[in-house]
Structure 1
Amino acid sequence: MAAERARRHLVIFARQPRYGLGKRRLAQDVGNVAALRFSRSALAELVRRLGRDPRWTLWLAVTPDRPTAWVRQGRPIGQGRGDLGARLTRVASALPPGPAVILGADTPGVTRTDVAQAFRHLGRHAAVLGPARDGGYWLIGLRRTPRDPLPFADIRWSTAHTLADTLASLTDHRVGLLQMREDVDDGPALRRALRRRRLA
């Protein structure tokens, strides 16, 4: 089991939760305090739920790259500079060998079952994607063998075309799909997430 864990990498992309930084669209709708509260609680919940599973090693791809003392669980790795594609490429290239599953810190409700399913897909697919309601994706998994591409170039990030562009860059490869989820990027999405939590 230890050897299997060493070969599988779960990466949470996260901005250090700080007042007035990040989640700008959400902050415009609900204020900086509520946006910060969501960022902190969502990240803490994901780390708590996913971080101790023996089937993978947890990494936190953080921005800014330093300091990392606030990371209490998981191995910190800096995202570096550039657009999301450049940062995803940098992190995916820096990890030790083995399949990697990458998700953002702003999708509440992701479970160990979701992550395990993503890794299972990578046994027979070059990549796996978790579609998001806004046309992007909440998770991407990559097998990361020498013949498998990193599909992050020429993507229209943070648009309704992000998922389609990424799938187009993987046309010649098998891609698995997970269930659709919703990122929390604005006030209505946060209200829906809180309502789902109450009903769960």
Structure 2
Amino acid sequence: MSECCLIQFAKRPIAGLVKTRLIPELGPARALDVHEALLRKTLNVLLESDLGPVELWWDAHWDDVDAMQCFLIGTVEPSHMPSARKLMIRYQEGADLGERMSYALTQGLQHSEKVILVGSDCPVITPDYLRQAMSALDHSDVVLGPAEDGGYVLIGARNITSLSLSDMAWGVETVLQATIARAGDAGLSHQLLPVSWDVDDYSDYLRWRQEEERSHSRVD
């Protein structure tokens, strides 16, 4: 049994079906580019952290497995390729997002002492943030990475046998508090990481672009 499993939830990259809130300003093709860039960034951060096995959970099956393999080959940075060879591909199961998350967390805990799950929308998750989450699970049953919009960018657990995330309202500002309440009702302790943010709408996209430009300026 490994100490920690890292899970990334991702939507298949299909123009018009991803980052739909960006389409009015960017169009479907550029919105797809944003989705793919965020997906790549997140996956490489998980691989770079070297905290344990990484699993990529797609929202639906790919019709063309070869196309998926080509996409992943183009996604992983060369320095992370050795770790990527062990990348496990899974598919989300459940009637709603909460049910799919609960299922993935439960599956991860079958072979790891801790499991950390992230989406593919947060451009500022770092290996250190993941390490903080892993350390938090030494003392708490559940760890959450709050988002500025009232949701969360990360959930981790070492015990969720009595925690249900199904039948929750998602995409609203009460998601984090609702999850904390459910953990409390289940008798589970929790810990919060520093607040982060993700790219949902055009203002988030512009913020991300500015962050990237500042980062490149510091490097130069």
TM over 0.5: yes
Is 1:128 aligned with 2:124? no
Correspondence for 1:170:
183
Percent identity between the two aligned chains: 27
Aligned length: 194
Which of 79, 100, 117 pairs up with 2:115?
100
Structure with a larger share of its residues in helix = 2
Larger radius of gyration: 2
Correspondence for 1:36:
32
In structure 1, stretches of 5+ residues that fail to align are none
- Listed one character per residue, the Cα deviations across residues 25-73 of structure 1 (whole Å, up to 9, x for unaligned) are 1223322112111111111122223214432111111111345552534
Correspondence for 1:114:
129
Is 1:27 aligned with 2:23? yes
TM-score, normalised via structure 2 length: 0.81
In structure 2, stretches of 5+ residues that fail to align are 73-83, 216-220
Which of 182, 188, 204 pairs up with 1:189?
204
Report the Cα offset of residue 157 of structure 1: 1.0
Correspondence for 2:56:
60
- Paired with 2:142 and 2:105, the residues of 1 have a C-alpha distance of 13
Moved more, 98-107 or 20-29: 20-29
Which of 2, 11, 17 pairs up with 1:15?
11
- Listed one character per residue, the Cα deviations across residues 149-181 of structure 1 (whole Å, up to 9, x for unaligned) are 334134221111100100111123221111111
3-state SS, counterpart of residue 120 of structure 1: helix
Asked if 1 retains the 8 angstrom alpha-carbon contact of 2:48 and 2:127, the reply is no
Residues 134 and 121 of structure 1, relative CA distance in 2, 3 Å threshold: same
Is 1:83 aligned with 2:131? no
TM-score, normalised via structure 1 length: 0.89
Aligned amino acid, residue 159 of structure 1: V
- Paired with 1:91 and 1:106, the residues of 2 have a C-alpha distance of 18
Moved more, 148-157 or 15-24: 148-157
